[in-house]
Amino acid sequence: MKQIVVKDTVDMLHKIKTIEKEIMDLKLSVLKKLTPSGKRVIKLKGILKDVNITNEDIASAKKSLYSKTEI
């Protein structure tokens, strides 16, 4: 009986090791897809310099953006 438990434990550890490897491979493939493709990043810092946005502007934008939803 004790030998069966040891074998089951070894099998379980092997399965866990396999799952860990598959997860690592999945992480690497996702990271490869998320890396920048070499395109230049356009920064928008300062694009709204000297622009005053009021609460009414925000309310109007929300109303037009969410007109078909209940927000």
pLDDT of residue 26: 94
Within-domain flag for 71: no
Residue numbers of the domain that contains 36: 2-65
Structural domain count of the chain: 1
What is the full DSSP assignment across 24-44?
A: HHHHHHHHHHHS--SPPPPP-
Within-domain flag for 70: no
- Per-residue pLDDT tens for 4-21? 667 888 889 999 999 999
Cα 1 → chain centroid: 46
Name the residue type at position 47: I
Within-domain flag for 19: yes
Which segments in the chain show pLDDT lower than 70?
1-5, 36-37, 69-71
Distance between CA 1 and CA 11 in Å, rounded?
Answer: 16
Looking up tokens 């969410």, which residue turns up?
Answer: 66
pLDDT of residue 14: 93
